[in-house]
Amino acid sequence: MCAAQFPNGFLWGSATAAYQVEGSPLADGAGPSIWHRFVHTPGLVRDGDTGDVACDHYRRWKEDVAIMRRLGLQAYRFSVSWSRILPAGTGHVNYAGLDFYDRLVDALLENGIEPLVTLYHWDLPAALDDRGGWLNPEISKWFADYAEVMFRKLDGRVKKWATLNEPWVVTDGGYLHGALAPGHRNRFEAPIASHNLLRAHGAAVQAYRATGRHEIGLVVNIEPKYRASDDPADVAATARAEAYMNRQYLDPVFFGHYPKEMVEIFGEAWPDWPSEDFALIQQPIDFLGVNYYTRSVTRFDANAWPLKACAVRQKQATYTETGWEVFAPGLTETLLWVKRCYGNIPLYVTENGSAFFDPPTAAKGRVEDPLRVDYLREHLGAVRDAIAQGVDVRGYMAWSLLDNLEWSLGYSKRFGIVHVNFATQQRTPKDSAHFYAKVIASNGAVLEESTS
């Protein structure tokens, strides 16, 4: 018998995000979000896909909760659409929008499923973008006010809150490279958006200490950076990549300052920040959510802007349909790295998953997805290894419960453990979902069985 085990009470769940699954973006008085705008701007999203219907989860949530229950999920991580709650981002509260999440939380609890609520998974109210969005320093107050509405409504029943999902993606995709909403490409804007995201996070945590009684944290994406060679140029490029993606948000939250490499990366576009901002940013948090998909092997590249670093493709590796290397040891390494750098804070793997082509057999009731099963098995093993080495990992959320809108890649990439036929909205749990159900039922013991 192997000694490594998942602790009792380890929380097994799955995750989604509002704009990716809900559909009905303007229903019941909701205001448009920047994603609603982005997808309706021709040419920005693959095949012209939109979130107008998505998984129709806004109307089919009962069926989806029933699926979660059948799979034995113990937790469901979802995000709240800010512009359903405050259609203009500030001011008027739309109670019909609030009721949607109220009913969802009740249904989850009735089925023994713990809700993990993320307040911001990229769908900023469009009305706030019109006021500068993440570039306007006022947004910390806007966000804290919205957060407080949610805390007051749900904190009696929701015990784990996350402020932001992946601030790095918000700024890198939304303000620096423009592949995600609001689609800006501006090296002066990206640092400002980052800083205001952190201030908003801090302000929401502060509001939580005044109104909430449970736990609040932050969710970041981490991709361990391995150097392609010992050449000093590659070593320095790897340090920049690590600072930019993995430490840009965590150093300020835990240490009260940015990594020194940020100046090197952004040059004159990196401002001097007022020191009092860091007191706000550095509010203690109760847990950290880590999203892990892949690693990168990094080398110097003079033409890669602004990092002067790029990822090297690995010859012997498996790649998913999004072009990301499958590398499970990177998840163990990530969890150990967080503990080594930032201390023994409780961790949740808040996202981990893979996009692969699925065979079109869902109509026959079965979707064989052996590559996703392998990915899941290997990455759960990686989590168990980190726990065995003393990291306080408390739960795992598979990304994603449902095939959904993969942002600017539209519906072309399927991350779900449950297949969605977007023409009929028929849901079919894939083999990976059935495998995950067994993992959950055995608290991970099934991972120790031979796979031959």
Q: Which residues are annotated as a binding site?
A: 20, 121, 165, 293, 399, 406-407
For residue 69, count other CB atoms closer than 10 A to its CB: 15
Nearer to ligand GBH, 165 or 238 (CB): 165
324 near ligand GBH, rule: CB under 6 A: yes
118 contacts ligand GBH (rule: CB under 6 A): no
For residues 339 and 326, what is the distance between their CA atoms, to the nearest angstrom?
Answer: 23
Is residue 293 within the footprint of ligand GBH (CB under 6 A)?
A: yes
User: Binding residue for ligand GBH (CB under 6 A) from 17, 222, 309, 349?
Assistant: 17
- What residues numbered 167-206 form the site for ligand GBH, per CB under 6 A? 169
Q: Whole-number minimum distance, CB 172 to ligand GBH, in Å?
A: 8
Query: Does 166 interact with ligand GBH (rule: CB under 6 A)?
Result: yes
154 versus 162: smaller Cβ distance to ligand GBH? 162
Alpha-carbon distance of 415 to 322, in angstroms, equals 10
Distance CA 433, CA 186 (A): 41
Give the residue numbers of the binding site for substrate. Answer: 20, 121, 165, 293, 399, 406-407
Q: Residue 166 catalytic?
A: yes
374 binds ligand GBH per the rule CB under 6 A: no
Check if 351 is active-site: yes
Give me the least distance between CB of 322 and ligand GBH, in Å please.
6
Helix axes 431-441, 57-71, angle to 10 degrees: 50
Q: Is 352 in the site for ligand GBH (CB under 6 A)?
A: no
Tokens 């920005």 locate to 44
Give the three-state DSSP class for 448.
helix
Contact 143, 196 (CB under 8 A): no
As a whole number of angstroms, the distance between CA 446 and CA 322 comes to 29
Q: What is the DSSP letter of 192?
A: H
Tell me how many helices (H) and strands (E) the chain has: 16, 13
CB of 4 to ligand GBH, least distance (A): 27
Only one of the segments 80-88, 97-105, 153-161, 293-301 lies at the binding site for ligand GBH (rule: CB under 6 A); that segment is 293-301
Minimum CB separation of residue 263 from ligand GBH in Å reads 23
* Closest to ligand GBH by CB, 87 or 330: 330
**CA distances (Å), origin 286, targets 81, 116, 308, 415:** 23, 13, 35, 29
Question: Smallest gap, in angstroms, from Cβ of residue 304 to ligand GBH?
Answer: 11
Complex with ligand GBH: residue 155 or 333, whichever CB lies closer = 333
Between CA 51 and CA 60, with CA 54 as vertex, the angle to 5 degrees is 135
Residue identified by tokens 């392998």 is 374
Which amino acid would we find at residue 214? H
Q: Is 221 in the site for ligand GBH (CB under 6 A)?
A: yes
H-helix or E-strand spanning residue 203: helix 189-211
Please identify every residue annotated as catalytic: 166, 351
Site residues, ligand GBH (CB under 6 A)? 17, 20, 165-166, 169, 221, 223, 291, 293-294, 296, 311, 323-324, 351, 399, 406, 415
